[in-house]
Amino acid sequence: ELSKLGLGNETVVQLRTLELPVDYREAKRRVTGIWEDHQPQLVVHVGMDTAAKAIILEQSGKNQGYRDADIRGFWPEGGVCLPGSPDVLESGVCMKAVCKRVAVEGVDVIFSRDAGRYVCDYTYYLSLHHGKGCAALIHVPPLSRGLPASLLGRALRVIIQEMLEEVGKPKHKAQFKENSTMVLPAKGN
């Protein structure tokens, strides 16, 4: 839905959509590739949280505690994302500030410091590591009658516009997880 909407005429970015599977090894391979191949200024991951009742802006990614198996039955050795790396990495985007400024009728947006120690958090930590804090994670609830794809797409558009404003660099590249979207500068920018 966000791919159809784009980020608006005022935002000088090119939007691309990618999908990452709920697979630790594949997520690690692809996230590493995104940072090495595209060298984005900002990556935004979007993951579904089946228990969520609101859109959740995650401030930090955790390095340890990955005990649940992915769709292939795999989990990181020792439950660690990157051995020898810090326990917590923070996003350079102030999610609390974005959360305070975002208003989308019919959608609650909240702030969190615990992304849940599953593939979303793992992917986020990797992105924060490779991007030196230039990443974000948005957890979304499942689609429903109260949150159809069209409303979720509009909400994500508003949130990402605020994130771009928060970091003050409208030429950002961004990327979404699970149903992932990458934003790249338009040609000539």
pLDDT for residue 132: 95
The pLDDT of residue 7: 76
Q: What is the pLDDT of residue 184?
A: 42
- Look at residue 18 in the predicted model and tell me its pLDDT: 83
**Which one, of 117, 107, 108, lies nearest residue 137 by Cα?**
117
| pLDDT confidence of residue 5 | 79
Residue 115 placed within a domain: yes
Please state the domain count of the chain: 1
Q: Which of 58, 162, 166, 178 is catalytic?
A: 58
Domain contains 181: no
For residue 166, the model assigns a pLDDT of: 82
45 is catalytic: no
- Give me the residues of the chain with pLDDT under 70, please: 9-16, 169-189
pTM of the model: 0.85
- Helices (H), ranges, 53-180: 95-101, 119-130, 149-167
What is the pLDDT, as a whole number, of residue 145? 94
The predicted structure's pLDDT at residue 24? 98
- Is 179 inside a domain boundary? no
Q: Is residue 14 part of a domain?
A: no
Residue 111 included in any domain: yes
Residue 134 bears catalytic tag:
no
In a domain, 31, yes or no: yes
Torsions phi, psi for 73 (to 5 deg) = 85, 10
Q: Which domain holds residue 154?
A: 1-6+21-168
CATH number at residue 66: 3.40.630.20
Whole-number pLDDT of residue 171:
41
Residue 182 lies in a domain: no
Q: Which of 45, 81, 99, 120 is catalytic?
A: 120
Structure tokens at 135: 């990443």
From 15, 50, 20, 62, select the one nearest 143 (Cα to Cα). 50
Domain assignment present for 186: no
Catalytic residue chosen out of the listed positions 45, 129, 130, 139:
139
CB 55 within 8 A of CB 140: yes
